[in-house]
Amino acid sequence: MLKSQTRYAIDPATAKTLDTDQLRDHFHVGGLFAEGEINLVYSHYDRLILGSAVPGNGTLMLDHMPETGTASFLDRRELGVLNVGGTGTVSVDGEDHTLERGEVLYVGMGSGPVGFSGSGRFYLLSAPAHRSCPTRLIRLAGARRVEMGARETANERVILQFLHPEVAETCQLVMGYTQFAEGSVWNTMPAHLHDRRMEAYLYFDVGADQRVFHIMGEPDQTRHIVMANEEAVISPPWSVHCGAGTGAYTFCWAMAGDNVDFTDMDIVAMGDLR
């Protein structure tokens, strides 16, 4: 079963007038990982689609999504798949790819329908593509690993880059995830902007009684959205995206836009945040 919804882009002047529920309606994405379902959110920010597939005891097939206006989902799109569950299988163009937890599969434009089976909980990210890049499975050992932060500043973390120019070729999708050491809770500080790309976060490995406070908005008009486990948030190009948790957690980040340069960002000085 495929379920879908659309989120429209809004400007920062409108965003700063929204109350808590309205902010969540525009940017927070909950209820993604439902067994036996593919759930997709079509964002008008750079036309990124984020979602999930949880096959359970059956097989799910991603093929036609009316919002894309194409016969098959990947006719003019590329796809990144992150497994945040048990061992699962993703079937593409007659080939089965076994994904363990934490592994990522890139699927190129024109690959046809995509099947999901097994015990995986698959997080999906898709962006428009102008050419076909090779489908590729990236295991943990193949990811680019960047260690940053320190325990003293509560941001000791490891950034694992999977869909990155030094790891796997894509058209515009950049994707990976960040894991925090015990006792570290702050992500993406100092904050930054990149007006040339939008971003989406999925927070996972969040304890049932823990939460992450995701900070968004213009640097001088920040707001927060409270996030639980396996919930996603859409970050517009004009917004900072950072946060702090009540315990350690992991978050998947993904970007789409004008380039695939991970370091293309405009740092916001701590003194400029409000």
Q: Judge whether 194 is annotated as a binding position.
A: yes
Residue type, 241: H
Structure tokens given for 84: 């945040």
The Cα 91–Cα 81 span in angstroms is: 12
Q: Judge whether 64 is annotated as a binding position.
A: no
The Cα 81–Cα 106 span in angstroms is: 6
Q: Which of 94, 105, 96, 38 minimizes the C-alpha distance to 65? A: 38
Question: Which three-class secondary structure state does DSSP give residue 9?
Answer: coil
Q: Which of 73, 21, 20, 19 minimizes the C-alpha distance to 51? A: 73
Q: Judge whether 199 is annotated as a binding position.
A: yes
Q: Judge whether 192 is annotated as a binding position.
A: yes
Q: Which residue has the tokens 């980040």?
A: 253
Backbone torsions φ then ψ of 125, nearest 5 degrees: -140, 130
The Cα 190–Cα 209 span in angstroms is: 27
Residue type, 33: F
Query: Which positions ≥6 away from 34 have C-beta within 8 Å?
Result: 52, 54
Known binding-site residues for Zn(2+) equal 192, 194, 199, 241
Please report, in range form, the residues annotated as the binding site.
Answer: 192, 194, 199, 241
